[in-house]
Amino acid sequence: MLPIRWMPPESIMYRKFTTESDVWSFGVILWEIFTYGKQPWFQLANNEVIECITQGRVLERPRVCPKELYDIMLGCWQREPQQRLIIKDIQKKLLALMKSTPVYLDILG
């Protein structure tokens, strides 16, 4: 069995695994963090997940996720592997967000 919910289109369709496919998976892990550990595409069966991913759909922005962080996720989920963020750029963006003024979220509301 393969971890379909964490895989990009090229890995699902062609069994192609690269650094770029790892970046896609990292974006899904970020999504999991901001949903407090929900399973990606939790409401769908595996065959529906495959259909969504191959049709270009992405996971929705979690309610408590800052836009800047969701933008990183979207950069990880570009359909074309060469268009995805590279790890060094992700690191720079995350470091910049860490150093910026914190945004407080209403997590209870």
**What Rg, from alpha-carbon coordinates, does the chain have?**
14
Whether 37 is covered by a domain: the verdict is yes
Rounded CA-CA distance 89/4 in Å is 25
Q: What is the mean pLDDT of each run of 10 residues along the chain (109 residues)?
A: 95 96 98 97 97 97 93 98 98 93 67
| E strand residue ranges, 1-109 | none
Q: Which amino acid is at 98?
A: M
Question: Domain tally for the chain?
Answer: 1
61 within a domain of the structure (yes/no):
yes
Residue 23: give the domain boundaries.
Answer: 4-99
Q: What is the pLDDT of residue 101?
A: 78
Q: Tell me, what CATH number does 22's domain have?
A: 1.10.510.10
Output the pLDDT for position 106: 65
The answer to the question of residue 39 being in a domain is yes
CB 66 within 8 A of CB 106: no
94 domain-assigned: yes
Whether 22 is in a domain gets the answer: yes
Residue 109 counted as domain residue: no
Do 76 and 23 form a contact (C-beta atoms < 8 A)?
yes
